[in-house]
Structure 1
Amino acid sequence: MAEVQTQSQISTLQKLYRDRYNQEETKCLLQHHDWDESKTINFINESEPSEVRKLIFRLLGNENGAIEKDDDIIRTVSKGLTDVVRQFSCVQCDQVWWKKVPVNKQVSKCKVCKSKYDAIPTDMMWGWAVFKCDCGNEFSGFGQMGKTQSKCYSCGALSYPSTIRPPSRRRPPKSNQKHMCDAPDCPGCDSARRQRAGDGSEKKCVHPRSRAGKSKVIVASEAHISTGSTISSVRDQDDLCSAMQNTTLSDIRARLK
């Protein structure tokens, strides 16, 4: 298949799902369905978000990746707890919140539009993060799982977050060092990198200073579909999802341009 065509298919699905899946994940889903966009879209819509993630991890050779990356989930499972605090978002209302929910039903309702959403995947959460540097230093700051890396002020290396914590469990800062991550729009980055902020980079700084005047939602929660529901029961306020169900692929592409 021509490289241009494959990149176009990957880009279309990424836009369709508002960058919920990165380029590598989108590519593996398309490959799994023989590059058939209709089959790929139907699979994503007709499956629970957790099942889509499970397939992605299996295809990428890391079936347990979501659990391995999250210390809070490991503690929850080891202690036999039935509830877990998870992050949710509503892109339509630009709302982000955390809520304690049952482990087997991680669903919450937006207080503004009353729509129900599934929890943000653990490997895509953002907010107050704990970093564990290879040098042994542990520090806290703002970040997004698997996306942004923050500077360790002990050795200077960049580290990914190991855990994202709810605001209520935010640790007090251990030093007066300013936030610095590798996102191009980070207020603590150098001016040269800041000038590249419009280069289409997927990295977004989640520090409150960099989010001022921008959308609060970094990753949109999946609209919750109860077991046994049909695809048509998805809330109709998401124009992209509505278009996806009622129009052809060519119509979808036209709306995404």
Structure 2
Amino acid sequence: MASEEEKEIMVREFREIFHGRFDAKDARRIFEHCNWDKNAAFNFVLQNEPRKVRQIASVSEDIISHLKTDPEVIEALQDGVKSAVRQFACEQCDNVWWWRVPIRKQVSKCRKCKQKYDPIPKENEWGWATFDCTNCGNRFSAHGEMNVTICQCYNCGHKVRFPTCIIHGRFNKRNRRSDLGHSCEGEGCTSRHHVPIHEVDEDRVYDGEEDDKLYAAAGIATGLKNVKIGPNQGGNKKQQKFKCLSPESRMNKKRVIHPSQRHHSTGSTVGTFLPQDDIASTYVPSLASIREDRGQLGGRGRGGNRGNGRGGKGGTG
């Protein structure tokens, strides 16, 4: 006999495959009718007349008839529920996590405030990123943001514009330190301004300040005392600015770079039954200093095998 936890997973999977048309009570009644045999429960819906299913479940016969011929339902029964790993961020709680969600309904709940959110658009994801150098062909890893971060190649020094992808997954090397420093074109990057390495305070209270000013106004005035201002050779073109995302630079600042949009439920969202073992739950790791991966030509491994963040705490489906 299945345990209560196994029964709950079976109910959620049943509901997801049938697009949430059966509520939890109806799904449980069907499983109880079939002695908690999963195959028998699915066959009960697919092979019986709608009116017979209607005797147990409170779903209309029209909906049952539609589900029996729905190509997406048939595909899910044959191949399993298709899923994707997506990034979510709750601005209110300053919480960031990755979660495996069904392709059909990509929704996750913040574990702190219980608000449901839609995923971060892939073009706005950030975290532990893969970069491909167009100059020497080196692939390496560093902290970055899609379509924003410009990072220096560890092999040839070429400035690589934008990550290829953001890597999800656990980062278990919590206590490693290295002389390989992060180097990007972001404001406050530790490659240009030394920042002492400390432990990241996981429970810190954000003080509401993003202090990116590295010099006092008086110091700037002193440095500009004898500077002659000439014509603007660059016209009105503004240099692109972005924030460095290395843990050292983000210390005691907001975790959330792009907040998720709140999910507006249509009533068919089902709590996840998908395994989350390979998903990192938060973006900021427990240690501020994490080795930047030199990549294929740098003798430090491939960028694709690195994750960002701690495992075990994040969102819920």
> Normalising by structure 1, what TM-score?
0.50
Give the one of 183, 186, 191 matched to 1:183: 186
* d(CA) in 2 for partners of 1:211, 1:169: 18
Give the one of 210, 217, 220 matched to 2:259: 220
Question: Does the Cα contact within 8 Å between 1:140 and 1:171 map onto a contact in 2?
Answer: no
* d(CA) in 2 for partners of 1:116, 1:84: 17
* d(CA) in 2 for partners of 1:207, 1:145: 14
Question: Does the Cα contact within 8 Å between 2:109 and 2:117 map onto a contact in 1?
Answer: yes
* d(CA) in 1 for partners of 2:127, 2:172: 9
1:137 offset after TM fit, Å?
0.5
Larger proportion of helix: 1
1:112 paired with 2:112, answer yes
% identical aligned pairs: 44
**Per-residue CA distance 1:67-108 (angstroms, 9 max, x = gap):** xxxxxxxxxxxx997111111000000000011001121110
- CA 1:179/1:144 → structure 2, altered by over 3 Å: closer, same or farther? same
Helix, strand or coil at the partner of 2:164: strand
- CA 1:101/1:212 → structure 2, altered by over 3 Å: closer, same or farther? same
Residue 168 of structure 2 aligns with an amino acid whose one-letter code is P
What is aligned with 1:165?
167
Question: Does the Cα contact within 8 Å between 1:128 and 1:170 map onto a contact in 2?
Answer: no
1:147 paired with 2:186, answer no
1:170 offset after TM fit, Å?
8.3
What is aligned with 2:99?
99
Residue 89 of structure 1 aligns with an amino acid whose one-letter code is A
> Normalising by structure 2, what TM-score?
0.41
Question: Does the Cα contact within 8 Å between 2:187 and 2:241 map onto a contact in 1?
Answer: no
Paired residues in the alignment total 148
- CA 1:194/1:200 → structure 2, altered by over 3 Å: closer, same or farther? farther
* d(CA) in 2 for partners of 1:171, 1:140: 15
**Per-residue CA distance 1:104-160 (angstroms, 9 max, x = gap):** 211100011100001011011111011001020100111100111110022211211
Question: Does the Cα contact within 8 Å between 2:91 and 2:256 map onto a contact in 1?
Answer: yes
Indicate the structure whose relative CO is greater, using CA pairs within 8 Å and at least 6 residues apart: 2
- CA 1:205/1:224 → structure 2, altered by over 3 Å: closer, same or farther? same
Helix, strand or coil at the partner of 1:123: helix
Q: Which 4+ residue blocks in structure 1 deviate beyond 3 angstroms? A: 169-173, 193-196, 198-202
What is aligned with 1:232?
none
Helix, strand or coil at the partner of 1:208: coil
What is aligned with 2:137?
136
Residue 144 of structure 1 aligns with an amino acid whose one-letter code is E
What is aligned with 1:239?
none
Helix, strand or coil at the partner of 1:180: coil
* d(CA) in 1 for partners of 2:97, 2:104: 19
Question: Does the Cα contact within 8 Å between 1:180 and 1:187 map onto a contact in 2?
Answer: yes
- Alignment gaps of 5+ in structure 2: 1-78, 195-211, 218-237, 268-317
Helix, strand or coil at the partner of 2:249: helix
- CA 1:205/1:171 → structure 2, altered by over 3 Å: closer, same or farther? same
- CA 1:81/1:140 → structure 2, altered by over 3 Å: closer, same or farther? farther
